[in-house]
Amino acid sequence: MASTSQAAGSPAKPPVKISTAEGFFCGALAAMTAVTVTNPMEVCKTRMQLQGELMSAAPRVLSGQAGSAAPQAGAQAAVGARLYKSSLDCFTKTIKSEGVKGVQRGIGAAYVYQVLLNGSRLGFYEPFRKAINRAAGKRPEEQWAAGAFAAGASSGCVGAILGNPLFLIKARIQAYSPHFVIGRASHNYKSTVDGLVKIVQSEGVRGLVRGMDAAVLRTAMGSTVQLPAYNWFKSYLTNMDVDANAYNPLKFLANKPNSFFTYLASSIFSGLCVCAVMQPADTALTRMYNQPVRVDERGRSVGTLYRNPFHCLYLTAKAEGVLGWYKGTTAHLFRIAPHTVLTLVMNEAYLRWYTNFNSSLASSQLPEAPHGMAEPLAHVGDARQ
């Protein structure tokens, strides 16, 4: 009966394959959707990470920075002061003093960065994973844990390298306040393009790759766990043996691979893993990006505070304690958890919508069977069974 039904009905939809370019596009679009919602918490995280930079005791005031790091006229040079009590306090004070524009600082650079970073991370993950599997003598479709971790780190590093100039500008724009110098420097850019121009003018082209080592470290750590954690937890839910533990609170998601709530639970788990692993490297990255710079004897622009991310973490721990690495963790969690959820859920949704659209388009272009052919073909099918 199955053969008769298939032959007599519409032609079967041909399978639709997603290319690397299409995967890149869907991943980038998903990330842009997410960053629109989560950028305010990114602004708060950045400011929380910079306040009290390398200060071990009570707040104190330092002189304003010169050159490209000069604060706006009238700004209070409150470097080292504890301006915000918490992430919520930072959000409230920022929106009160700077409006919606204040909590959405750097959104333009964030969009472009997300296209480059997450488009690479989501678009190149599967090709990298399959290539690593082949190199290790395994089947491309096999879910090999080591290969998944390596693919996540590799795809994330590609995105970090491509997006470094945009992340640099985004971090500096988000850290800037017309009222305070948050951290050791303040960079006032009118836009993403203005930031690119000013960095090249004052720091040279080398300035655009500032902090790239920290960006690669941060992104590799996050990417190493993001997709593998998501896929592992989704696989766990899909293959869960409900009878093994009747009290498992997640049993209502068992064996539902295409459920929205399965995507949601897997994304939340992934976001928690990413935040836990990435926070110290994220703090180092923010501080390396925003540090004041100078031109050395060889004519190169160099940071005046940190040589590399490990040096930054060392100085931070020395002056502020190890807990200094975790400044802004609450804002980071409030940013990365919904961002990861929205990115991965919307990526699944966009891929499904795109696949269904292409499948419908392909099936509509198939030639119709000649009249009178459907029934004889059905009989042939029945005879072969």
Q: What secondary structure, in 3-state letters, does 227-268 show?
A: HHHHHHHHHHHHCCCHHHCCCCCCHHHCCCCCCHHHHHHHHH
64 domain residue, yes or no? no
Q: State the pLDDT confidence band at 365, using cuts at 50, 70 and 90.
A: low
Domain tally, the chain: 1
* Separation CA 130–CA 125 (nearest Å): 9
- In this model, does residue 92 exceed pLDDT 80? yes
CATH code of 194's domain? 1.50.40.10
> Does the residue 305 lie in any domain?
yes
How far is Cα 374 from Cα 370, in angstroms, rounded to an integer? 8
Query: Which residues on neighbouring strands pair with residue 76, listed in sequence order?
Result: 180
Using CA atoms, how far apart are residues 268 and 250, in angstroms rounded to an integer?
A: 13
Query: CA Rg, the chain, in Å?
Result: 25
**Is residue 5, in this structure, part of any structural domain at all?**
no
Structure tokens at 98: 């700077």
Place 181 in a pLDDT band, splitting at 50, 70 and 90.
Answer: confident
For residue 104, what pLDDT band results from cuts at 50, 70 and 90?
Answer: very high
Report the length, in residues, of the chain: 385
pLDDT at 216: 85
**Ramachandran bin of 296, using left for φ above 0, alpha for ψ from -120 to 50, beta for the remaining angles:** beta
User: For 36-59, how does the pLDDT look when each residue is reduced to its tens digit (9 = 90+)?
Assistant: 999 999 999 999 999 888 886 434
Q: Answer whether residue 240 is part of any domain.
A: yes
The residues, any chain, with a CB within 8 Å of residue 134's CB and separated by 6 or more, are 140
The answer to whether 216 touches 155, Cβ cutoff 8 Å, is: no
Opening angle at CA 119, ends 334 and 32, nearest 5: 45
Determine phi and psi for 180, rounding to 5 degrees: -140, 155
Asked whether 217 and 98 are in contact (CB, 8 A), the reply is no
Task: Tell me: pLDDT of 218 over 90.
Answer: no
- Ranges 282-291, 348-357, 373-382, most confident: 282-291
Range of the domain at 313: 20-51+85-356
Closest CA to 356 of 258, 265, 261: 258
**Identity of the amino acid at 367:** P
What's the mean pLDDT in 269-289?
Answer: 89
What is the percent of the chain where pLDDT is above 70?
82
> Is 335 a domain residue?
yes
State yes or no: pLDDT of 376 exceeds 50.
no
Measure the CA–CA gap between 91 and 286, rounded to whole angstroms: 18
pLDDT of residue 14: 52
Tokens of 200: 């090249």
Largest CA distance in the chain: 90
Checking if the pLDDT of 281 tops 80, the result is yes
The predicted pLDDT at position 7 comes to: 46
Given a contact cutoff of 8 angstroms between Cβ atoms, the answer to whether 133 and 65 are in contact is: no
In a domain, 210, yes or no: yes
**Which residues, 6+ apart, have CB-to-CB distance to 277 below 8 Å?**
221, 222, 224, 225
In a domain, 368, yes or no: no
Quick check: is 114 in a domain? yes
